[in-house]
Amino acid sequence: MTGELQTTDVAVIGAGPAGLFAVFQCGMLKMRCHIFDALEMPGGQCTALYPEKPIYDIPGYPRIQAAELIDRLAEQASAFQPVYHLGSPVERVEPLPEGGFKVATAAGKEIHAGAVIIAAGAGAFGPNRPPLDGIEEFEGKSVFYMVRRREDFRGKRVVIAGGGDSAVDWALSLVDIADRVMVVHRRGKFRASPANVAHLEGLSETGRLDLVVPYQLHGLSGTAGQLRQVAVADLDGNVRHLEADALLAFFGLSTNPGPLAQWGLTLERHHLVVEAGTGATSVPGIFAAGDIVAYPGKLKLILTGFAEAAIAAHAAYHHIHPGQALHFEYSTTKGPPTTV
């Protein structure tokens, strides 16, 4: 640790929608924020898993792409000049003798904060990788577990493996720009929206895409990380070879609370137990919002996370300024946001 010790009013852990909105809400209360995320860019799952997919239940936006929502939230928070610490997970959150918390990242950053708001979404998450020999050579080059840019697959032969919503949704999205889309699933029935499954089957019947069922991934071949073929096998062991430029494997995510489980917080099935009215966790001064929290009646919606972020910010203010009255004002009364 070198250089001057950095301090802030609130450390926000998680730069997804709830975390970004928590920064804005803290700023409106004249509290400075440092915001942390293990990913290399803000957005959480919106950025990592479905940046180009539309979201339909954000108030005021009949339709908005996930990446655009993150851009708007970051722009809104930027009025308060938050300090970002990205690309390295928070490893430790420890109470300080004089009050507040020390927040330390895997990269060696250490910040002292008066309060902490955890908006870590599903916690630490990563894809369930298919057990194929040598798959590491192709990952990030021609094997992917998420789609960042739809255009990356224009004119390519794409194999999509999986039977859930992600596999079906991306098959329908890419069929118009890919040279060929082949969907591999080990069952004949898909676990996705019935309307989308019907659309998928209709495209197969007209020859616009290939349904390779019931098959499962068997092997990969190519050179220098670039796929040439994806081998698939049926339940009897019969093998087919699909000419392919890219493989999208959608077998869900494995999630766990990561280091958060070591911070002395009460957890329930990998979720933080909080007071619904304050976002308070079992450790005074640490609050939480978004998909990471659990309480009776909890709805896992982005808009719910926004409300929880506002509640947690107000509770954090009272923790940092005990006994100090906070005159609540609507943003229309306070005027446009200004730098803290």
The predicted-structure confidence for 284-306, as pLDDT tens digits, reads as follows 999 999 999 999 999 999 999 99
Residue 254 has pLDDT above 70, yes or no: no
Which backbone phi and psi does 93 adopt, to 5 degrees? Answer: -130, 115
Range 6-125+254-334 classified under CATH 3.50.50.60: yes
Per the DSSP assignment, residues forming a β-bridge with 116 are 11, 286
Going by pLDDT thresholds of 50, 70 and 90, the confidence category of residue 334 is confident
CA distance 175 to 145: 18
**Predicted pLDDT at 255:** 63
Per the DSSP assignment, residues forming a β-bridge with 45 are none
300-303: long-range contacts, CB 8 A cutoff, minimum separation 24: 301/57, 302/17, 302/18, 302/55, 302/57, 302/58, 302/69, 303/57, 303/58, 303/59
Tokens of 156: 């390519």
CA distance 156 to 72: 32
Mean pLDDT, residues 133-155 taken together: 92
| Residue 158: CA count within 13 A, CB half-sphere | 30
| 3-state SS assignment for residue 72 | helix
> Within the chain, which residue ranges are assigned CATH 3.50.50.60?
6-125+254-334, 129-251
State pTM to two decimals: 0.72
Higher pLDDT pick, 315 / 262 = 315
Percent of the chain with pLDDT over 90: 75
CA distance 116 to 286: 5
Q: Are 37 and 51 in contact (CB under 8 A)?
A: no
Q: In whole angstroms, how far apart are CA 80 and each of 6, 16, 325?
A: 17, 17, 22
Going by pLDDT thresholds of 50, 70 and 90, the confidence category of residue 124 is low
| CATH annotation of 129-251 | 3.50.50.60
When the pLDDT of each residue in the chain is averaged and rounded to a whole number, the result is 92
Q: Which stretch of DSSP H or E encloses residue 8?
A: strand 6-13
Mean pLDDT, residues 200-208 taken together: 97
- In 10 A of CB 181, how many CB atoms? 27
